Amino acid sequence: MAIESAVVVVGGGLAGATAALSAAREGAHVHLVSANESTLRQASGLIDALGYPVADAGREGDDNDGDGGNGVAADSGPLADPFAGVDDLPADHPYRLIGADALREGLSLFDDTVGDLYRGGHTDRNALVATTSGRAKPTARYPRSMAPGLVSDERPTLLVGFEAATDFDAPLAAERLSAAGVPFDVTGATIAFPGEYRADAAVTRLAHALERDEDAGDGRTTRQRLADRVRPHLDDAERVGFPAILGDSHVEEVRADLSERLGVEVFEVPTGPPSLPGIRLSDRLFEALDDAGVSMTTGTPVVDFEPEEDGAGGDRIDRVFIDRNGARIPYAAEQFVLATGGLVGKGLDSDRERATEAVFGCHVPQPDDRMEWSEGGAFADHAFARFGVRIDERGRPLAADGTPEFENLSAAGGVVGGADVAREKSASGVSLATGLVAGRTAAEEV
């Protein structure tokens, strides 16, 4: 017996969650199927819409350390208004195909979903957030815990790193920010985390120690000893940035307590994986999915599908199959959303000859000559970076002849091609915009 729903969403990242919420808000019964934990748990927690114009994205000097930071281009710099750059994008970019309004509505859905967890919804403009690499990254939405650390804020700043969290070299980050010409004085210090921890201690362990305010010795708690160790480095600083490990579900409580003890405002700096801000966002989204009545199956990949027997030329999907301990479990629906990610997320497969969409075999435009997949230079305009299915204005994947692959399939997120999201700093925005459209299209056809 197949498990039946009106809409099945395949993929549990930001795009899949957005599509499921979008469809559910239109009244459809949705079932979300995800192979693994959300990829948001490895992301910085920042929500990028469009950070750099195509001509300037990824120029030499950008970093690639996992936090999504980006050096500021010397001539034109990052985009102040992401919507102002949409019309200059290539014609096959997802924003051009589904419209800038989809991005705006996707961000609005995100704002409604996360509530007070995030900031930035009051304006169309990007904010510049300092990252652990010492770069200023343009982003449309940022966690509340990072708000006091915006680069536009001119207050003198102290960055603090921990010996037990080696991915944040605070003095180096401060040096880079100063060299970039930020409008504030910034210094960095590295201190020992209160308590006994190995150099490779899990960031979740450190976060829990701060959240629980554990006894760290000498009759003092973790937060007390942390404040005592930071205080000698304050000098004239009016705010202090820590790597984003200030608690798990009670980060605001930890920030408020440390701010009071230090007498200055405390903020988090986005870090690479594993990312507590990403985990917090994932948890909030899945709470919202549960509240919206979305059914979920996680930890089980979709391995196959079956077209409708009476479909004209097999142009409708009847069901997909998940692999559960070797058993094929069918999930039937009237509409399906493909949100499995790109090459990194394994929504696309590739070999020495072709790149292919992994679940439904949808068409993936690409140069026939594999030597044309990439260019010289790490930050060059690589064709493979834009690989993915092409969609129409309703988010439906298109075959080579320009017609929809399946009448009841739409796509969202990294599996959609046409955008070099790493260079543009647009991954989250593409997921939100295409997820909104794909979910709405699915619900309208039920």
Q: What is the pLDDT of residue 61?
A: 36
For residues 357 and 374, give the distance between their C-alpha atoms in angstroms, rounded to a whole number. Answer: 19
Domains defined for the chain, CATH in brackets: 3-113+279-445 (3.50.50.60), 133-269 (3.40.50)
Residue with tokens 């748990």: 41
For residues 18 and 8, give the distance between their C-alpha atoms in angstroms, rounded to a whole number. Answer: 13
Q: In 263-319, which ranges are continuous DSSP H helix?
A: 276-291
Q: In 292-366, which ranges are continuous DSSP H helix?
A: none
Q: What is the pLDDT of residue 57?
A: 56
Measured in whole angstroms, the distance separating CA 157 from the mean position of its chain's CA atoms is 27
Give the pTM.
0.92
Taking a C-beta distance cutoff of 8 angstroms, is the pair 21, 288 a contact? Answer: yes
Q: What is the pLDDT of residue 289?
A: 97
- DSSP count for the chain of H helices, then E strands: 10, 17
Q: For 329-348, what is each residue's pLDDT tens digit?
A: 999 999 999 999 998 888 99
Q: What is the pLDDT of residue 314?
A: 58
Q: What is the pLDDT of residue 202?
A: 82
Regarding beta strands 327-338 and 317-324, do their DSSP bridges make them parallel or antiparallel, or are they unpaired?
antiparallel
DSSP character at residue 389: B
Tokens of 274: 């594993």
Long-range contact set of residues 378-384: C-beta below 8 Å, sequence gap at least 24? 378/64, 379/58, 379/59, 379/60, 379/62, 379/423, 380/58, 381/420, 381/423, 382/420, 384/343, 384/350, 384/355
Q: What is the pLDDT of residue 411?
A: 98
144: Cβ contacts below 8 Å, ≥ 6 apart? 116, 117, 118, 119, 252
For residues 105 and 136, give the distance between their C-alpha atoms in angstroms, rounded to a whole number. Answer: 26
pLDDT values of the chain reduced to their tens digit, one per residue, 446 residues: 788 999 999 999 999 999 999 999 999 999 999 987 777 888 899 999 999 987 555 433 333 333 434 333 333 679 999 999 999 999 999 999 999 999 999 999 999 999 999 999 999 999 999 999 999 999 999 999 999 999 999 999 999 999 877 789 999 999 999 999 999 999 999 999 998 776 666 888 899 999 999 887 788 999 999 999 999 999 999 999 999 999 988 999 999 999 999 999 999 999 888 899 999 999 999 999 999 999 999 988 999 999 987 655 559 999 999 998 889 999 999 999 999 999 888 899 998 889 999 999 999 999 988 888 888 877 778 889 999 999 999 999 999 999 999 999 999 999 999 999 999 999 999 999 999 999 999 999 99
Q: What is the pLDDT of residue 444?
A: 97
Q: For 36-94, what is each residue's pLDDT tens digit?
A: 777 788 889 999 999 998 755 543 333 333 343 433 333 367 999 999 999 999 999 99
Q: What is the pLDDT of residue 51?
A: 96
Q: What is the pLDDT of residue 371?
A: 83
